Amino acid sequence: MSDDSNNTNLIRITTGIAATVAAAVALIMPLGYFAVSYQYMVGSLETESEVSAYNISKVISANPELWRYEEVRLEELLARRKPGSQNEVRRILDERGNLVAERVGTLTPPIIKRSYPLKDAGADVGRIEISRSLNPILIRSIFVSFLGIALGTTVFITLRILPRRAINELKHAEEKLHRYARELTESNEDLKNFAYIVSHDLRAPLVNIKGFAGELSAGLAELQVLKKKCVCRYEGNDGERADEILGTDVPEALDFINSSVKRMDALINSILKLSRLGHRELKPEPVATQEMVTTILKTLTHQLEQHGTEVVVGALPELVADRTTLEQIMGNLLDNAVKYLGPDRSGRLEIFAESGADEVVFHVRDNGCGIAREDIHKVFEIFRRAGKQDVQGDGMGLAYVKTLIRRLGGRIWCESELGSGTTFSFSIPLGNARAHIVP
Amino acid sequence: MMDRPLPVTILLAEDDAGHALLIEKNLRRSGVSNKILRVDNGREAVDFLFKEGRYAGDPSPSPFLVLLDLNLPELDGGQVLRLIKGDVRTRHIPVVVLTTTDNPQEVAKCYELGCNVYVTKPVDYEQFSEAIRNLGLFLSIVKIPEDE
Ligand SMILES: Nc1ncnc2c1ncn2[C@@H]1O[C@H](COP(=O)(O)OP(=O)(O)OP(=O)(O)O)[C@@H](O)[C@H]1O
Ligand SMILES: [Mg+2]
């Protein structure tokens, strides 16, 4: 809402600016044109009269007494002019103001007049007067003012439209972003609900499969008892076959059903757990990660000794973050590091951290069996395992870790070389409510 | 004591026929010999309890107990529970929620709505039958609330 009022404000301001600029253009263009042309005309009138006065002075000094009677020569002089200045009137007047010679033309008012004194041996003997009409300038100024108005209008429209466009573009971009954000939250919600629904709805049929398999077992047991008590109706091969079915085949089938259901149940529980991790409330508290890592390593002592592992723990920071989350992240990474050390060489484990301004990056490095390049992205997916399946695992650990780290706002990545070792690194962003370094 | 039939009906609201059968079998094994009436959707459960719809004017007695699945069509278990516990006529009926979910939020919500016992149906059949048998034992020692 306040965005909208900001925008209308902005539009008002830009409209104001556009109007001012447009008006200025429309006014200044004709006025400027007029002022410059007028100035130019006055200047040229002055020079013209000066030049004419000089030429006439020559006639005067040649004949100082009688010059005023040499009308023909004077008029000839007056007629000599620069091309393009036809529309003017030139007059020669004597010192008393009487007309001596004249070159006429038609002049429409308003008229501008300039004169220059005629001299003979330093004394004024008359003056030359040139008049021109201002009309052409005025007409051109009007024309220019039309141009100015047109230009001003264009400027106004442009200045008004451009910011509006920009604002609209911005609005669109913003709306798009909002929509993406909304879609993201929705699909996130969907995903959470999906996991929940899947695990709930998948369980119901499992209860039946397992339940009726149980009923079958119970029925079978009862049958065996009954069989012992009563005389068997089958004889010879048929009897053996019947014994085989009841004693081996059916129980075997039931075992498969039971173990598959158990496995399925475990998988469903894993999905459920993963979906719950996304909901769990985080409680940030100070955590000495160094101590935490040491404690976790203690629980792995047995496995570490088995591999003759050397463990190096660098200086790890004290963070304010959710303790359980950090514990689970570290626990899973360390568990994997030890689990996948490989039997053929003595192990080496390094845990270290780099504290930057806005995040801490933890590294867990081992010299174990490594992960093939094409498998690296897979290992973070739920139920996915890589390489030789010679150690027991569910393929859940890294999926949990990834979810947990994402909840803390960080990310996880992995560098590995098949056969020589793996480094898992994860970042925890600092300076927000979720995590920061204890000073 | 266990073989003494209680003169009241158990209403089992369960949409999964398999679950219903397994529940019934295990209740019988634990010695519960009451009449068990099964409905497979929430609407019918409510109709039965309030003697509405196709149960209108039905003289059958109020059930002693309701066994309620949460994942029911038409009206889900939560809604049924809310209706039962929100009406003076049915408020006294003990409700046992019996469902596959063990989501703590769901459990808490049910207790908030007034469910008396919450039992998760474990996938493991041993545990399942044990849970139902325990429930049966519980049913046979619990006192029958007076109908008002
Ligand atoms: N440090 C490591 N070195 C080599 N391979 C690894 C390492 N950590 C993980 N992996 C590979 O990634 C796969 C996935 O690991 P993840 O922790 O998700 O599952 P898991 O260890 O198999 O089972 P779980 O942790 O659920 O018991 C493992 O099966 C293994 O192949
Ligand atoms: Mg693991």
Domains plus CATH for chain B? 11-139 (3.40.50.2300)
Residue B148 forms contact with A (CB below 8 Å): no
Q: Are A15 and A164 found together in one domain?
A: yes
pLDDT at B147: 47
The DSSP annotation for A72-110 comes to HHHHHHHH---TT--SEEEEEEETTS-EEEEE----PSS
For chain B, percent of residues with pLDDT exceeding 90:
5
Q: Are A182 and A220 found together in one domain?
A: no
> What is the A379 CA–ligand 2 centroid distance (Å)?
10
CA-closest residue to ligand 1 atom 8: A336
Q: Are A226 and A125 found together in one domain?
A: no
Residue B124 forms contact with A (CB below 8 Å): yes
pLDDT at A367: 93
Contact between chains at B22 and A208 (C-beta distance less than 8 A): yes
Closest CA to A338 of A383, A293, A368, A375: A368
Residues of chain B with Cβ-Cβ distance to A204 below 8 Å are 16, 19, 71, 100
Give me the long-range contacts of A246-250 (CB less than 8 A, separation at least 24): A246/A220, A250/A216, A250/A220
A to B CB pairs, distance under 8 Å:
52
Q: Copy the structure tokens of residue A174.
A: 């913003």
Which residue among B16, B126, B129 places its CB closest to the CB of A204?
A: B16
Give residue A365's domain range.
284-437
Which residue out of A210, A259, A273, A279 would a mutagenesis test of the B interface target, given it has the greatest number of B Cβ atoms within 10 Å?
A210
> What is the A388 CA–ligand 2 centroid distance (Å)?
14
pLDDT at A87: 74
Which residue from A minimizes the CA distance to B19?
Answer: A208
User: Is the CB of A387 inside a 6 Å radius of any atom of ligand 1?
Assistant: yes
pLDDT at A294: 95
Which of the listed residues A183, A199, A215 is the one where a domain comes to its end?
A199
Closest CA to A6 of A174, A154, A153: A174
> What is the A196 CA–ligand 1 centroid distance (Å)?
25
Closest CA to B16 of B114, B121, B109: B121
Q: B28 vs chain A: nearest CA distance in angstroms? A: 14
pLDDT grade, residue B145 (50/70/90)?
low
Residue B108 forms contact with A (CB below 8 Å): no
Closest CA to A394 of A264, A278, A209: A264
Which tens digits make up the pLDDT trace of A17-73?
A: 888 888 888 888 889 999 999 999 888 888 888 888 888 888 788 877 777 787 777
> What is the A332 CA–ligand 1 centroid distance (Å)?
9
Q: Are A213 and A303 found together in one domain?
A: no
Gyration radius of chain A over CA positions: 52
Q: Are A208 and A249 found together in one domain?
A: yes
Distance CA A204, CA A367 (A): 45
Which residue among B18, B123, B129 places its CB closest to the CB of A265?
A: B123
Contact between chains at B126 and A265 (C-beta distance less than 8 A): no
Contact between chains at B19 and A207 (C-beta distance less than 8 A): yes
CA-closest residue to ligand 1 atom 28: A385
pLDDT at B61: 64
- The secondary structure of residue A341, as a DSSP letter, is S
Q: Are A26 and A170 found together in one domain?
A: yes
- Nearest-5° angle of CA A380, CA A382, CA A385? 70
Give B33 or A166, the one with higher predicted confidence. A166
Which of the listed residues A219, A250, A277 is the one where a domain comes to its end?
A277
Which residue out of B98, B123, B126, B133 would a mutagenesis test of the A interface target, given it has the greatest number of A Cβ atoms within 10 Å?
B123
Distance CA A88, CA A105 (A): 6
Average pLDDT over chain A reads 85
Which residue from A minimizes the CA distance to B14?
Answer: A204
Q: Are A125 and A259 found together in one domain?
A: no
User: Is the CB of A274 inside a 6 Å radius of any atom of ligand 1?
Assistant: no
pTM for the whole structure: 0.58
Is residue A203 within 8 A of residue A265, CB to CB? The reply is: yes
Which tens digits make up the pLDDT trace of A152-161?
A: 888 888 888 8
User: Is the CB of A382 inside a 6 Å radius of any atom of ligand 1?
Assistant: no
For chain A, percent of residues with pLDDT exceeding 90:
25
Q: Are A37 and A144 found together in one domain?
A: yes
Highest mean pLDDT among A62-76, A248-262, A310-324: A310-324
For residue A228, pLDDT beyond 90? no
Q: Are A86 and A7 found together in one domain?
A: yes
Q: What is the CATH number of the domain that holds A350?
A: 3.30.565.10
Residues of chain B with Cβ-Cβ distance to A210 below 8 Å are 123-125, 128
Provide the domain count of chain A: 3
pLDDT at B114: 85
For residue B4, pLDDT beyond 50? no
For residue B2, pLDDT beyond 50? no
Is residue A104 within 8 A of residue A92, CB to CB? The reply is: no
Residues near A280 by Cβ (< 8 Å), separated by ≥ 6? none
For residue A85, pLDDT beyond 60? no
Give me the amino acid identity at A277: L
pLDDT at A238: 75
Which residue from B minimizes the CA distance to A203?
Answer: B100
**Lowest model confidence (mean pLDDT) among A12-16, A40-44, A207-211, B138-142:** B138-142
Which of the listed residues A152, A183, A199 is the one where a domain comes to its end?
A199
Atom of ligand 1 nearest to the CA of A396: 26
Residue A252 burial (10 A CB sphere; 0-12, 13-18, 19+): exposed
For residue A323, pLDDT beyond 80? yes
Q: Are A234 and A296 found together in one domain?
A: no
Residue B48 forms contact with A (CB below 8 Å): no
User: Is the CB of A334 inside a 6 Å radius of any atom of ligand 1?
Assistant: no
Is residue A258 within 8 A of residue A210, CB to CB? The reply is: yes
pLDDT at A329: 95
Residues of chain A with Cβ-Cβ distance to B97 below 8 Å are none
Which tens digits make up the pLDDT trace of B45-102?
A: 888 888 887 877 777 666 668 889 988 888 888 889 999 989 888 888 888 888 887 7
User: Is the CB of A329 inside a 6 Å radius of any atom of ligand 1?
Assistant: no
For residue B7, pLDDT beyond 90? no
Which residue out of B125, B129, B132 would a mutagenesis test of the A interface target, given it has the greatest number of A Cβ atoms within 10 Å?
B125
Residues of chain A with Cβ-Cβ distance to B14 below 8 Å are none
pLDDT at B5: 42
Average pLDDT over chain B reads 80
Q: How far is CA A258 from CA A198, A310, B23, in A?
A: 20, 43, 19
Please tell me the number of the ligand nearest to residue A370's CA. 1
Distance CA A362, CA B47 (A): 60
For chain A, percent of residues with pLDDT exceeding 70:
94
pLDDT at A81: 65
Distance CA A253, CA A261 (A): 12
Q: Are A194 and A226 found together in one domain?
A: no
Instruction: Give the distance from CA B37 to its chain's centroid.
Output: 10
Residues of chain A with Cβ-Cβ distance to B78 below 8 Å are none
Which tens digits make up the pLDDT trace of B28-53?
A: 887 777 788 899 888 888 888 888 87
**Lowest model confidence (mean pLDDT) among A129-143, A162-176, A179-193, A365-379:** A179-193
pLDDT at B3: 45
Q: Are A195 and A220 found together in one domain?
A: no
Q: How many residues does the structure list for chain A?
A: 439
Q: Copy the structure tokens of residue A205.
A: 């049929």
User: Is the CB of A398 inside a 6 Å radius of any atom of ligand 1?
Assistant: yes
**Lowest model confidence (mean pLDDT) among A317-331, A417-431, B7-21:** B7-21
